[in-house]
Chains A and B, each alone.
Chain A
Amino acid sequence: AQKITQTQPGMFVQEKEAVTLDCTYDTSDPSYGLFWYKQPSSGEMIFLIYQGSYDQQNATEGRYSLNFQKARKSANLVISASQLGDSAMYFCAIKDTDKLIFGTGTRLQVFP
């Protein structure tokens, strides 16, 4: 069975600094996809970035990048130049057939 582990319940970062949110996964499938979602206090899940297991390069989307280390089964999210609006819950997920399997999330707080 697929599994996602996020070991950081909470993280703090100062505005304009970079922060890394950890995610490790477990799967026996040779082909898989990894997602990161942001959940602000409003509750809606917002898609941030995707990494396919066969992608040659680490995914990037604006200030978001994914540090994908396949041998270590990790897919850490890096947020550069943090902004106050980045304060939210962040969830890592792996696709299992058609559904997403989520981790328990990391609460990021950005302070001035």
Chain B
Amino acid sequence: GAGVSQTPSNKVTEKGKYVELRCDPISGHTALYWYRQSLGQGPEFLIYFQGTGAADDSGLPNDRFFAVRPEGSVSTLKIQRTERGDSAVYLCASSLIITDSYNEQFFGPGTRLTVL
């Protein structure tokens, strides 16, 4: 079956612009996660959705970052007034939530964001 997909694969923008990054999770996965991976680092958690609601947004760095998942499937990460420090690979992951299971997260290929 289809895995997690992310679009676009690459996005180049100018400082101060607004960008949207899209994630299509695996069908039936109720949990969706966004991570950010800077060069030479491991992924860092941004936000977690359970269904349509953000269950944990503690990783969002500031109020320029916002994410939605209006129908409990596709999610969009929105970044306002982009800064050069926002340049990174943005990874999306999804999982089933099963009691007493480790609920492996399946990752997409990521969107590479470059802010000039």
- Hey, which bits of chain A sit against chain B, CB under 8 A? 4, 33, 35, 37, 42-47, 50, 52, 91, 93, 95, 97-105
Contacts and interface: CB of A to CB of B under 8 A. Distances in A.
Given A97-B56, A99-B59, A43 B102 contact: no
Which one of B42, B93, B112 has the highest number of Cβ atoms from chain A below 10 Å of its Cβ? B42
A52 B45 contact: no
A101 B45 contact: yes
B107 A45 contact: yes
Given A44-B109, A44-B110, A99 B48 contact: yes
Nearest to B40: A104
Interface residues of B, number: 26
Contacts of A4: 42
B11 to A, nearest CB: 14
Q: Is the interface of B mostly helix, strand, loop or mixed?
A: strand
A19 B94 CA distance: 30
B43 interface: yes
Given A98-B55, A98-B56, A99-B33, A47 B42 contact: no
B45 A42 contact: no
Interface string B89-116: 1010100000000101111111010000
B44 interface: yes
B41 interface: yes
B79 interface: no
Contacts of B48: 98-99
B109 to A, nearest CB: 5
